[in-house]
Amino acid sequence: MPRVTGVAATSGEILRLIREEELHTRAELARCTGLSRPVIGQRVNELLEAGLVLESPGVSSGGRPAARLEFNGAGGTVLVASLGHTHGHLAVCDLAGSILRQEPVRVDGGPGAGIGAVLDLWRSMERGPVLGVGIAVPGAAAEHEPIVAAVADRYPVPVHLDNDVNVMALGEHRLRHDVEDLLFVKASTGIGAGIISGGRLQRGAYGSAGEIGHIPVLDGLLCGCGTVGCVETVAGGAALLAQLKGRAANLPELAALARAGDLEAVSVLREAGRRIGEVVAATVNVLNPALVVLGGDLAGKNLIAGVRETVYQRAAAAATRRLRIEPSLLGDDAGLLGCATMILDHILAPRSVDAALRAASRPARPQDPTPVP
């Protein structure tokens, strides 16, 4: 582990070392940072008083046992929401990112139109102090700024909102933290990708990185984005339901038909996987990820088989030699856990923790005296 200089080892950095680097004693922290034991003690005490760290007796191996420090995941909560065009899921998570309670919510008319229902349901779900809010929405995050304003008005804490595919990529990367370069592909009503490169989410210069659903393919049709040929027009959810001519009313029904072995549904999903594989192959050539993760309503074994078939045929051999293409580990919870990762990365960052500790230690300003009439 690289040494942290004493100047940089603020209380927030001490928390990071305990939480991420698994340093559990004051002696380990002192060796890593170069800070004196009294200074380490002062900064640890700040974290103990804030409820971010817990201390327990150590195990003796001869001599006086050193007290053990642990990150306190129960020291607060974050509220998260994964919202679609008509429905979504809400959850309350602890500071370790574990879901404490989860509920579905209707957002008919779009996420912005249903924000009142989201806020009311969150209020009924609260468990302890709320330290932050994370929200995933379809489409460009910039189009949903009214949601951020409405949430911030109810909860005066950091509120972060991002595209749903970006958030899912964050959630998957949290579980696969040994993978620095990951491509998450969502196959549902639309098709999109979240890009993790060098261990960091890549949004692009204007926030539109990962729009692979609008890469043109042969036989593509007129798309809602205004161009012709997008892969979404032949492999997105609406196109697949049309191919089944009413045999499935929605994507869960289509997926259920395929799981039951319906030959037409299996064939439709396998071919959709091949078409999606065309744009994934091009993306793999450009980004050279170590892992492609497939999620969304359509990402069952048949679609994944089609993607693998095309990618391994069409992408460059150097890019696919060790490439893994796998289903999501999180399934339906990818959006919620990704939201938790997104907001926790912010509120538990050393700079944010230091700012919160300074604010908590600042004496309250006395109210101005009421003027005498």
pLDDT in tens, 328-359: 999 989 999 999 999 999 999 999 999 999 99
Phi, psi of 130 (to 5 degrees): -95, 120
pLDDT digits (tens, 9 = 90+) for 187-216: 999 999 999 999 999 999 988 999 999 999
Q: What percent of the chain has pLDDT over 70?
A: 93
Strands (E), 203-351: 216-222, 228-230, 291-295, 324-327
pLDDT digits (tens, 9 = 90+) for 108-158: 777 777 889 999 999 999 998 999 999 999 888 878 889 999 999 999 999
| Res 366 pLDDT > 80 | no
Residue-level pLDDT at 177: 84
Residue-level pLDDT at 372: 42
pTM metric for this prediction:
0.88
pLDDT digits (tens, 9 = 90+) for 210-254: 999 999 999 999 999 999 999 999 999 999 999 999 999 999 999
pLDDT digits (tens, 9 = 90+) for 251-265: 999 999 999 999 999
pLDDT digits (tens, 9 = 90+) for 39-98: 999 999 999 999 999 999 876 555 566 789 999 999 999 999 999 877 899 999 999 999
Phi, psi of 223 (to 5 degrees): -105, 160
Q: How confident is the model at residue 364 (pLDDT cuts 50, 70, 90)?
A: low
Q: For the chain, give me the number of helices (H) and strands (E)?
A: 14, 14
- Write b or e for each residue in 111-121: b if 16 or more Cβ atoms lie within 10 A of its Cβ, otherwise e: beebbeebbeb
